Structure 1
Amino acid sequence: MLAYIQLKPFINRRSGHMHSIAPYSIRCFNPYSDPKKGEERYAVLDKVGQFDVYSVFKDFISAQNDKFKIVEDSKQVYRFFGMKFYDDKREMAGWFEAGSYGVKNDIIDIETGNVDFQKAQNNAEIIKHYVRFYIPSGFDEGIVLLHNYKGNGIKTLLYELLRENFTKVTKRTLQMNPLAYKKAFKMWEEAQAKEIKLTRFQGMADITDQLTKLGHKEQQLIVKSPVRGKLGGRLKDFFDPNSEEYAVVEFLRPHCGEVKAIAELNGKKRTFTIGRPAEEQVCEIMIEEDEVDMVAGNPDPVSLHKWCTQVLQEFVDSIYPGLQVKI
């Protein structure tokens, strides 16, 4: 049976929930390999023929200047900014700033409702996205962490830029695929679930009506475990169609737009979206304000980088088990 729970409806004003980190794998496919001859389909990252993936990426990013570049086909603008290279660790991190243009609209002050600025068709709102690459030597798979804002990211644009240059230089195919929950967070399966969050909550009409009067259009209902208690079973039980935890989530799902579970392990918390089966789910790690400092609604660069180091280490431990690889 599920443990006793506390229901707490509230207006979601926390900016941290708008930000998340999406992890991807980096691999280099060799279309000329012949498995019948014992040739590997994926190249070791520092031995792609005569090339090193880390060096190819570094050369490409270093050659960019601070000016925004235009991608006319998709009506986007972008630039790399503040990128730092850690050659001894084979890491690179910084910001990829991107935005879209092509639509005229108004920018309003949410406090007054007045139009503060008229965004023209050739204006673009620029969002800063944290990016981090880990490209180890001796392995055929690296890790990329990309920052998303309100569920929107820069993977497609960034990947196309890197892929086009990579193919031009090496004549090989670069792959950047999402890291699935099963592979990336095996260690979190046994973690205890502490909270369930229902975003865009629509049930209990009387409560929802009262919340709406406070002036915010999005409600969130939190189902908490009791003090020093747990919410049902382990995290993986919420992904098991035969579990009672899964049945409870299925009951709650029609009343909201999204269901998330917060799990805790060794003092650390991670937020997982409950939806598709665990083995199919793309991992997206929510950035919580009690873990990363926020400045004017954006993650503080130093705090975010430090937190992402911990996240990256977890992925490394999962992808290269038993090898004691340290970030």
Structure 2
Amino acid sequence: MPEGHSVHRIARQFDRNYVGRAVSASSPQGRFVEGADVIHGREATSVRAVGKQMFLEFDGDVWLRVHLGMYGAWDFAGEILVDPTIASANGRMGQTNQRGTVFDAPELDPPELDPAVLAGRVFDGAGENSLTSIGAPRRARVHVRMSEQTTGLADDGMQWPPPVVGQVRLRLMTDITAADLRGPTACQLQTPDEVLATIAKLGPDPLVGDVAEGEERFVRVVRRKPTPIGLLLMDQSVISGIGNVYRAELLYRALLDPHTPGRDVPEELVRALWLDWVRLLEIGVETGQMMTMDDLDPAAYRAAMASRDDRHWVYHRAGLPCRVCGTEIVLEEMGARKLYWCPSCQR
């Protein structure tokens, strides 16, 4: 399931490449023809992400709501405008570096261990610095998936417009950029009132609205629920954007048993969960990685940025020893999703 940091990164990509431009829309697959006809020729005027959903506004009070779900993906092609404030490798959103990444960075002194600084020293597989090339349009084709398993597709001298590949629900084009949507859970047009109603059903997102108000709302809901905290963190009406990876890692970082009823979690610990989510989400948006380990030295940080196996405390570590106590990490099913946790540390 997608996690919130990727959705915010994708929304920012649409903001850079589409907002303020007239958009050509089509549905090569044929399943969104009427919707594409409505937005064809309109100017994209704004975009926002809330939790795991993205809302793209067009002139005339028309909104496109997209929820990629488990299998949805965006493919961007053409000139991809990259934000110099966001660390990304070769224009990739969702994962800064892939396995096999070449790292060409000197050992850094402790004062320079800021993640953004370290990310700036990372080179991708093509030998391109992940920050110095940012700011100018580049010819590229990148696969943008709302999950950590994003992969980059190199420039292949493609024709323009690029050929349709696979089942494309919606193609959005400007004069220089194309975005193809495949396999979303939701792709629909909404009125402004419908957008507000959809967002009203979602829990607080640290990057949307007032953070303090979001904290109070989250604490208030959790503290009255008998539902296990491991389920509450995945409930998008309780808190927005958390998926399987962040759930496992947040609970471990809080040393909290996932089966603890929400109303039995001490208030200060509920607040700590929210504040930790605020921090991890910001790191995820900045780096493109679900980085959940702190205080890594330069070598460990490089390894973590290249490989998920070095990036998490418990996620995807079933049967392996806990990094702290050595107890075998448990894998169980909770809410029809895999849950990883340490029964010794989290009790």
TM range (shorter): under 0.3
TM-score, normalised to structure 1, is: 0.23
TM-score, normalised to structure 2, is: 0.22
Which has the larger share of strand? 1
Structure number with greater Rg is 1
